[in-house]
Chain A
Amino acid sequence: MSVDEKTVRRIAHLARIAVTDAEVPHLQGELNAILSFVEQLNEVNVEGVEPMTSVTPMVMKKRQDGVTDGGIPQKIVQNAPATEDNFFLVPKVVE
C-alpha cells in the first residue's frame, strides 16, 4: 500500500500537524518508504496468532479508589502558555 498527496494531507490533519505544500511530496516519499519496508510482514501467516496486548504476563496493580493527590492547581497550570484563575486559556471553541 502507498499513500497519495491527498492521503498525506488527511493524515497530517488527523495528527493535527500543519503541512505546507512544499512539505507534502517529501512526506509522501518518506511515508511510502516506511510503508514499503513494513510490507514484508504480509509474508507471514498469522492465522490463529493472538495479537500481543502485554509483553510481560502481569496482573494489573490495583489500589483503593480514593483521592491520593490534589489541591495543587498552581502547579498544574504553572507551565501553561496562557491561564486565568488557574484555568487553561484557549481560543473560543463554542459560539
Chain B
Amino acid sequence: MTELTHLTIAEARDGLKAKTFSASELAQAHLAAMEKARALNAYLIETPEKALAMAKASDEKIAKGEGGALEGIPLGIKDLFCTEGVTTTAGSRILGNFNPPYESTVTRNLWNDGAVMLGKLNLDEFAMGSSNETSAFGPVVSPWRREGSNVSAGTSGAIEGTHLVPGGSSGGSAAAVAARLCLGATATDTGGSIRQPAAFTGTVGIKPTYGRVSRWGTVAFASSLDQAGPITRSVRDSAIMLRSMAGPDPKDTTCVDLPVPDFEAAVSRGVKGLRIGIPKEYRVDGMSPEIEQLWHQGAEWLRAAGAEIVEVSLPHTKYALPAYYIVAPAEASSNLARYDGVRYGLRENGRDIVDLYEKTRAAGFGREVKRRIMIGTYVLSAGYYDAYYVRAQKLRTLIKRDFEEVYARGVHAILTPATPSAAFGIGEKGSGDPVEMYLNDIFTVTVNMAGLPGIAVPAGLDGQGLPLGLQLIGRAFDEETLFAAGQVIEDSAGRLTLPQAWWA
C-alpha cells in the first residue's frame, strides 16, 4: 500500500470510503511525519489530541455510511484563521497567547464537512511577506533543495546550510503540503500569498474570486484584497477543498450569496473551444528564459488540448504593484489599529494610555509590519490622501477595466507565469530595499487588485531542479474554467515528484 501521507485528498477519500484504512490511521501517519519534520518549522502548533478525536468521530460516521465531503481528511490550517480554543498568532508576537472564543467561517465549514485538524501553520507576520521570513516564530524551510546544495538535516535537530524559502505569506501551508505533512492546507492571498508559495513548492494554489469565501474570523490584512483558498498537491484536490471552504456567510457582508458550484465536476471538462489570452505586458525585463520557455510551453499544451490561444493586452499591468503598495498598507494601517494592548494580546505598560499603545505596538510588531503600517498611515494622512490613496484606487479601476475589456472580447482565461523566478535562498532578498522582495508578486497582484480568481499550477522544473508554476486568471466567479484549464496543464506537465523526506 502507498504511504498514507503520499495520497491525494481524492485518493484518501476513496480509501476511507472503501475502508482500506481508517481516518485515525491517516491522522496518525501525518502526526508522525510532522513530528519528524519539526526542523522545517512549518507548523507553529500541532494539535494531535484534537486530530485524533476528530479522526475517531470521522471513523464512527464512516462506519455508519455517513460523513461529509472531507470526512476524515487531515488538513493544516494557516495560523491566520481563528480556531476556537487553539492559540492563533497570525505569525506575530502582538497577539500574545490569543485564544479565540470563536471559529472562523472557513474552518467551521471544513469541520462541518468532516475534515480533521492537524495544527496551525507558520506564515509571514500578518501575512505580510513573500518568503515567510517575517514570521515572529522563525522562517520555514522549503522541502525543496537546489541540485547539489549543501542543505541537510543537522545532527542537533536544526537544518544546516543555506536553505530555500517556501515563499509567502502562506509558506507554512505550502511547505507542509509539499513535505506531505498534511493532505491539504488553508491559505490566504492578498497579493499572491497562495499562488507564489504554491509555485515555489510545486503545489497547486487557488485564490478564488473576491467574495467567494467568507473572511469572517480570519485575521484581516487588507480587507478589499484578502481571500482564502486551498493549497493542495493536485488540481482536483484544490477543487474538492475550495468547495468546502466557500459559500455564503451572513457574518461577512462582502461574501456573495451565490451557490458554490461542484468544482470537482469542472476538473475533467477540458479546454476545447476556450479562448486563452496571453498578455504581452507580462513579458517583463529580466524574466528568466526558463520561465519564458515554460510559459510558451503552457500555451502549447492548452492549444494541443483544443484551446484557441490569442495575444491580449492589459496595459496597466506595471502599475498594479505600486498601486498595491498604497492600497494594501492603507487598509492594513486601519485594520491593525485594533492591536492596542487593551482588549487582547501583548501589553507593554506605559506612563499613560498613548505611551502604552506606542510601547505595546513597538514591542509586538515586527519590522515589515511596522513599515507597512507607517506607509499606510502616511498615504492616508491629511494632505497626501488624494495624491496617493485616491490615485491608487483610480489605477485599480483602470487595472480592472483592462481585464473586463479582454474578457468582453471572448477570452475565457489568461495564462501567465506565476512568479518571475524559482524559489530563492533565505536572506537573499529584500534586506536592503524592501521593494526587491515586493517584486515577487508582480504577476499575481493584478488579480487581487481586480478581485478575480487565479490559480497557480506546477508546470516544470528549472535548471537547478526547482519547481516553476504557471498562473491562470479567470473571469469573476468562474473558478470552474481555472480548474478545467489547470487540469490540462497538470496532465501535460505530469505531476511533479516531490522531494524525499531528507529532513526526517
Residues of A within 8 A of B (CB): 1, 3, 7-8, 11-19, 27, 30-31, 33-35, 37-42, 44, 46, 49-56, 58, 60-61, 63, 72, 75, 77-82, 88, 90-93
Contact = CB atoms under 8 A, between A and B. Distances in A.
A30 B342 contact: no
B253 A34 contact: no
B343 A79 contact: yes
B378 A3 contact: yes
A8 B377 CA distance: 11
A78 B318 CA distance: 46
A49 B398 contact: yes
Contacts of A15: 333, 361, 370, 373-374, 377
A44 B319 contact: yes
Given A31-B374, A41-B319, A53-B393, 7 more contacts: A1-B384, A15-B377, A17-B361, A19-B362, A27-B370, A50-B394, A56-B209
Interface stretch (B73-81, B272-280, B351-359): B351-359
9 contacts: A17-B361, A41-B326, A49-B397, A49-B398, A58-B211, A61-B253, A72-B101, A80-B344, A88-B342
Nearest to B249: A61
Given A11-B378, A41-B395, A17 B362 contact: yes
Interface residues on B, range: 35 or more
B371 A30 contact: yes
Nearest to B358: A18
B392 A41 contact: yes
Contacts of B503: none
B191 to A, nearest CB: 14
Contact of A81 (B253, B347, B433): B347
Which of A11, A52, A53, A78: most chain B CB closer than 10 A? A52
A93 B392 contact: no
Given A37-B435, A60-B253, A78-B101, A90 B350 contact: no
Contacts of B97: 79
Contact of A14 (B211, B257, B381, B398): B381
B200 interface: no
B325 A37 contact: yes
